[in-house]
Chains A and B, each alone.
Chain A
Amino acid sequence: GENVEQHPSTLSVQEGDSAVIKCTYSDSASNYFPWYKQELGKRPQLIIDIRSNVGEKKDQRIAVTLNKTAKHFSLHITETQPEDSAVYFCAAREQAGTALIFGKGTTLSVSS
């Protein structure tokens, strides 16, 4: 089955800096890669996703890139703000109808 590795486990940046979180996946059949933000005790919130037929997607300060050949994808947050502080999870899915498999998470801390 699918296995998703995520790095780093913790990331501390200054407000205004950029943050990058990287994930790799094992199953070349995976075709959907979402990123979630989770605050303590709450449900994961989808912040951006990308499908395997696209190499990059951007939404304001957030962007995701996908390298299918290398089987890795990354989350880029620019101009970070203290409210970006949370745990971020990447995930991958093999095909529609199957469950998302999550990475171990990255705790992002943005200090002002």
Chain B
Amino acid sequence: GAVVSQHPSRVICKSGTSVKIECRSLDFQATTMFWYRQFPKQSLMLMATSNEGSKATYEQGVEKDKFLINHASLTLSTLTVTSAHPEDSSFYICSARDRRGDYNEQFFGPGTRLTVL
């Protein structure tokens, strides 16, 4: 199956700093990538849909100025958490669809554990 990577896998930062998380499709091109956030013992909550070459679409309640998404190429989307605060501590997971083949399946990255002190 298609492979999606995320970097970093873990990050600890101080309150007020910004953190960038990368999501890469390694062996396929992804026109669309999705960003989810998962708090402990909760479900995956969709934050935004990232489309290559255009602005991301954010879900209701997600601050677009705080969670900056850039999808500059068909294999890379980045999520920047700006001015992070402890309540932003969470597991961030991206997913991507392969342009070829079964258009239904989404391939998930391994996730990034963000801890804001």
The chain A residues found within 8 Å of chain B, CB to CB, are 32, 34, 41-44, 46, 49, 51, 89, 93, 96-105
Contacts and interface: CB of A to CB of B under 8 A. Distances in A.
Interface size class for chain B?
Answer: 20 to 34
B94 to A, nearest CB: 10
A96 B46 CA distance: 16
Contacts, number: 47
B93 interface: yes
Contact of A42 (B34, B42, B95, B111): B111
B43 A89 contact: yes
Contacts of A93: 104
B113 interface: yes
Contact of A41 (B32, B106, B113): B113
B109 to A, nearest CB: 6
B49 A43 contact: no
A51 B46 contact: no
Contacts of B49: 98-99
7 contacts: A32-B104, A97-B32, A99-B49, A100-B46, A100-B95, A102-B45, A104-B43
Contacts of A105: 42-43
Interface in B18-47: 32, 34, 42-46
A18 to B, nearest CB: 24
Interface in B24-77: 32, 34, 42-46, 49
Contacts of B44: 44, 89, 102
A7 B46 CA distance: 20
Contact of B108 (A43, A49, A104): A43
A99 B93 CA distance: 13
